[in-house]
Every structure is written in structure tokens, then in C-alpha cells.
Amino acid sequence: MRGPAVLKAIDELGYVPNRAARNLVTRRTDCVALVISEPGERLFTEPYFAGIVRGISSAMARTQYQLWLSMVQSAAERDRAGRFLTREHVDGVMMLSQHADDPLPAKVRASGLPLVLCGRPLAGPDAGEMVFVDADNATGARQAAQYLLDQGRRRIASIAGPQDMSAGVARLQGFREVAGDNLVEYGDFSEESGARAMTALLDRDPTLDAVFAASDPMAFGALRILKAAGRRIPEDVAVIGFDGSPGGRHSDPPLTSVFQPTEEMGREMTRLLLAQLAGDQPAESQVIVDTHLELRGTT
């Protein structure tokens, strides 16, 4: 404890504690890493990533921690990130958009660093022990399928997300639980992949009357192709996306979509990580947030 004389000297000399020296004693860096396994341009153009990052940033702003952001895509970038993600550099790690073959979650977990994932881990021997936050993807997809059936749609296609990601798997499975083994093409959640998938679906079945896209950007790509092909929306073809992104309110027509609360997910990720950093064991280490269908002009 500092006495009055020490405090007076600190004030007179304008002394500022040396963080590096302090960290040698406390073994803390006051830094937290957010690792996104996608190219940087998707972070700034797709609403899903922006919402998660906003939620994390708003929650982190109330703490003493600095947020370190890394986008990794290639094997070399993952290897560099793996060498950096140690207790010498960060106190904890959050990961977003991980794929089944990504070695980073297991590597970080083995290092003993606190770790929170965005999205249920798809595979791995310790997947069941991972701390994560995810949307209720399967329920949201079931809601979309049921609505299309209730509206009398019968030739229903889907543009599924990547099947090496838990969201892609759960949304396709949930949709098929209600709609059956429907016509499907696959994308990577991006708008261009949605456009390519929609082109392939029209080639396979020009009479299809509904499409469920597993992300809003893929739905936007599908809308573009449908309109170019002369299909009226929703009279000829109904379209439902997944995200509930703000851009869907301004598409033409406005996009019906399954809403997932991305900012809440980011805040929940931060809450779970801060609890681990404080030495607490969260009551819930695997958090699933609700989704709901937002009806607009494409259905």
C-alpha cells in the first residue's frame, strides 16, 4: 500500500506506471484477442460480422482490456496466430466463424487460455467442453420452412451454408425437418455464392416457388438472379433469408428473414470470457440465443 508521502511524490513527479513492468509481476497483458476466420473484406461488408463485433466492442469498452483483432484465412495465417495466442501476449481469446478443420480452438484451449467461441463447435474430441454462444439456428430454419408451407409453397429450394460450419449444418437440418428433403445448393454465406446457387437452382427446377437462404447476403444474391430471370417476388417465388440484417429492410422488396440477435451474441461472448478472466465459472458455459421470423415483402 502506498503511503501519503509516496502518493505526494507520484503526484509531484507526474509518475505513470510502466505497464510492461507491471505485467511482468501480475502476468497479465490486459489484452483480449478476437480471431475471425474469414477475409477482412467480409468483416466490413457483411452485417453478421459487424453486429458481433459491435456487441463485443460495446461490452469491452466498459473494461480495462484492449481488444486485438485478427483475420485469419490461410494455413500460414493460422500458424502465425497460433504462435501469438499465448499468455505472453493475451489474457483470453474469442473466436468467430471457425470451420471444422480449424486447429486454432484446440491449440488455444491446450495452452490454458480462456476461450469463447461464436458458434457451436462442429467436431473434435473436446467439442462438448468448449464455451460458446450461438443462435438457435435449427429452430429459426424450422420457422422459415413452416411459414412457406403454410403459405401454400410446395416446390421449395434452399441455399445452404457451408457444411463445415455448425450454422450451415443446423440451418439445413432444421429446414429439412419441416420441408423434407428439398432441392438444395450450397454457398459460403456471401452474396455472390447466393447468386451462383440461385442460378443453379433455376437450372435444376425452373418451376420452384420458394427459396430459403441460410444468410441474408445469400438471399440478396438470390433476389438479384430471380429478378434478372423475370420472376416476380413474392408472387412467383417467395424468399426468406437468415440474419434479420438492417439491409433487408431496404432491399427490393424488403427481405423476410430469420432474425438472430448478433449484438447480444457479442455481448454474451464477452460476458463469458470476462467471467473466466475473473476466475469465475459461468453458470451457463454454452449459451443459445433465440431467433424469430421477421415478415417483410419477399413472402
Total H helices, total E strands in the chain: 11, 12
pLDDT of residue 38: 83
As a CATH number, domain 17-135+262-289 is 3.40.50.2300
pLDDT of residue 44: 79
- Domain definitions of the chain by residue range: 17-135+262-289, 137-259
Question: Does residue 204 have a pLDDT over 80?
Answer: yes
Q: Considering only 69-73, 137-141, 264-268, which range has the smallest mean pLDDT?
A: 69-73
Q: Are 187 and 217 in contact (CB under 8 A)?
A: no
For residue 134, give the 3-state DSSP assignment.
strand
CATH architecture of 137-259: 3-Layer(aba) Sandwich (3.40)
Question: Does residue 102 have a pLDDT over 70?
Answer: yes
pTM value is 0.87
Q: Considering only 39-53, 58-72, 224-238, which range has the smallest mean pLDDT?
A: 39-53
pLDDT in tens, 159-195: 999 999 999 999 999 999 999 999 999 999 999 999 9
Residue 277's identity, in one-letter code, is L
pLDDT of residue 299: 97
- Determine what percent of the chain is predicted with pLDDT higher than 70: 89
What is the Cβ-side half-sphere exposure of residue 153, based on CA atoms within 13 angstroms? 31
Residue 103 preceded by cis peptide, ω within 30: no
Q: Which of 237, 255, 224, 242 is nearest to 154 (CA)?
A: 237
> Which H or E element spans position 234?
none
Mean of pLDDT values over 55-61:
96
Q: Are 244 and 259 in contact (CB under 8 A)?
A: yes
Q: Examine domains 17-135+262-289 and 137-259 and report if their fold is the same.
A: yes
Q: How confident is the model at residue 129 (pLDDT cuts 50, 70, 90)?
A: confident
| CB atoms inside a 10 Å sphere around CB 40 | 13
pLDDT in tens, 3-52: 555 455 556 655 554 444 444 445 689 999 999 988 777 877 888 999 99
C-alpha cell at 286: 454454452
pLDDT in tens, 245-271: 999 999 999 999 999 999 999 999 999
Mean of pLDDT values over 199-226:
98
Where does residue 137 fall: left (phi above 0), alpha (psi -120 to 50 degrees), or beta otherwise?
alpha
